[in-house]
Amino acid sequence: MSEAEIKDRVAANFKRAFIQATNGCGRQMCLNKYCNQIRKGFWTNPNLTALNLLNIAKQAPDGDLEKSTDFIFCETFTPYFSASELINQDPQTIFDVFSDISSLGLSFYINENITETNPNVDWVGFHEILSKMNGLVQKGVLPKNWLMGAVKKYSLTTYRNLYYPRVALMLLTVPEGLEIDNYHVLIFLNAVLCSSPQLLENFSHLIDTLDSRILQVILWHLQQFISLRILRNLRNKDLLEISWAIRVMETIYNSNEKYKRINYQEFYNEVVNKEINLKNEYKYWTKQRKNKNKPNFDKEFTFASYPWIFDSNSKSIFLQLESKEQMLREIEMGSLMYVLGLDDPFIHLEIRRDNLIEDALTRLSSGDLNIKKPLKVHFVGEDGVDEGGVRKEFFQLIIKELFGPGFAMFNYYESQRLLWLNPNTLEPNTSFELIGKILGMAIYNSIILDLHLPLTLYKKILNKATSIEDLREFDPDLVKGLEQLLEFEGNVEETFCRTFTVETFSFGHPIIQELIPGGSSILVTQENKAEYVEKYANWWLNDGIKDKFEAFRRGFLKVCGGEVIQWFKPEELELLICGNPVLDFHELEKVTEYEGYSRDSETIQMFWEVVHSFNENQKKQFLKFVTGSDRAPINGLGSMKFVVSRNGGDSERLMTAMTCYNHLLLPAYGNIERMRRLVLLAIENAEGFGLR
């Protein structure tokens, strides 16, 4: 092309762009931001329009706007239809609409208000058309793969990319069936979306405005595809296709994090959690993290890069792997130092029972102590080697004492049976740091703690924002009063007589705290009551306990400061620390071991008949009696070691338990009535820890 021809081409494109920018392309709906069709008035100043186009042309090769990556010419007009218009068209016309990105991308609208952030899809009409076409498939008029035939005709241009996210959104709801080889459309859509960060971003904008019903349909199709691909033995091609599906799922997950519509557990994939080798995944993941800054970064796909796909049990396994890796490093280093007479590979706690807190605080606050080592506990003056039981008893005892009324570090809210940090405690911050360390060490040593803390605390550990709804969790009466203030339409000053302060009590004496500088002299009014409620709730959740919580979190992160802990949701972190509230005693029966009894013993048969007849509260009481906690391990009672031993013949003696070892000592009661009466008497009157 000669220089003159190039100039003519540039001039022609500039003229075409100027007309489009000032007059529009003539479509009723257009997504092109450089077209005046949807930006009425945006390009109306001719001089400014010309200047803008010249600036864009400067970035293009040879000044040619058609070659610019920042400018999109509206392409030749293609027909588009509402569902009511298309339902009466012949199959070829419908096929042609599905074969053209911009045509399908503008069809099936409810009203003429399609934007880059609002898909505005007539879902009922869209699926009616699909039903019509599938009916023609059943009659043999259309081939089974008609939709893939239409999709294969797609040719992407910069302009058509504007409509592709809406097309993908609609087609991802199409039920292709469960056959493994019947996911060609889904694979194609995912591959194209993942080929461009801009396409994924625009797709995510549409996801943000999607209702939960359609969102779940798309998520279900993606989950089903991933599951079936895994179950047929993974190949490299499968992993590539799965990686596309998971990246599309990630846009849905991130959108749902911003605008909650479906439960986070919907993103768990059961097959991934059951079939994938988590140990290998952890290795791939750690390898990627180590190599990410190297020139030859290994980009091998790993599920661990998308932790939301794992359930709480799998995440706990990853945490154990991370913990084990860190512990092994400490043991290896410690063993070397130990050989040299310089260090010990374990943490050894020498604890006096009558001086539990002081001894633990002194030892765990030692600057030369690495608290990520495995823990071994010895109670002074007592025989025995810690094989796990003594360690468990230590955690039970120290938690009971630290969270008890004697230290007054926590306030107890009886209506909710929950504890929250006491803003007026006289205990030093080091005690709160000790609690944080204890919780972290319990995780690292696989100990379930009997804690009654609100979910809010776990949110704060993970740096999640709090709101008045979190305050409601442990003090609903306070929140009810604040809501009554917000709803009041009269004279707030005279009726409520409040200032920007919060009043608490310490040993019966009132303590006044200002919510804002000078708050004691600022009355709460109709105009500022919303600010007052926000400040008041925030004081209880954050400001009033700031130093204490920061010390607690600091202690926790000294033990659990790795990356995996950040994978957890607050609910999952609570499960990890406090165990699973779901109690399946049939699973426990399957794994129980016996000493002096057999599985077929009459006493054991009666025992399980009684236990299985318990209501939920009695089940909790029983579990707490034998383990010290009313919750199961994170992956259920079937993962727990439980032993039942014979403890004498038929008598009125109560059964006893060694909670440190999950060991029940059961007399051979002679009949089921006596068994039921004495077992219930034992669990309903049990107090304390250790041997009962």
Beta strands at 501-506 and 418-421: parallel, antiparallel or unpaired:
unpaired
Of the candidates 30, 74, 194, 660, the residue annotated as catalytic is 660
Cβ pair 127, 175 in contact under 8 A: no
Query: How many beta carbons lie within 10 A of that of residue 298, not counting itself?
Result: 12
Distances (CA, A) of 378 to 361, 387, 398, 626: 15, 11, 14, 22
What 3-state DSSP class applies to 283? helix
Residue 202: which H helix or E strand, with range? helix 197-208
Unique residue bearing structure tokens 């005892």: 397
344 in Cβ contact with 334 (< 8 Å): yes
Is residue 135 a contact partner of residue 122, using CB atoms and an 8 Å limit? no
**DSSP letter (8 states) at residue 225:** H
Would you state the structure tokens that stand for residue 563, as one six-digit string? 């990356």
Query: Which residue type is seen at 454?
Result: P
Question: What is the biggest distance separating any 2 CA atoms in the chain, rounded to whole angstroms?
Answer: 112
Task: Please report which residue ranges of 59-183 form alpha helices under DSSP H.
Answer: 83-86, 91-99, 101-106, 123-138, 146-151, 164-171
Pair of tokens at residue 615: 């209501």
Alpha helices (H) in 292-311, listed in sequence order: none
Residue spans of alpha helices (H) in 232-369: 236-258, 270-275, 278-291, 312-339, 356-364
As a residue count, the chain comes to 692
Any catalytic annotation for residue 660? yes
Q: What is the DSSP letter of 118?
A: -
- Host H or E run for residue 3: helix 3-23
Question: Mind telling me the catalytic residues?
Answer: 660
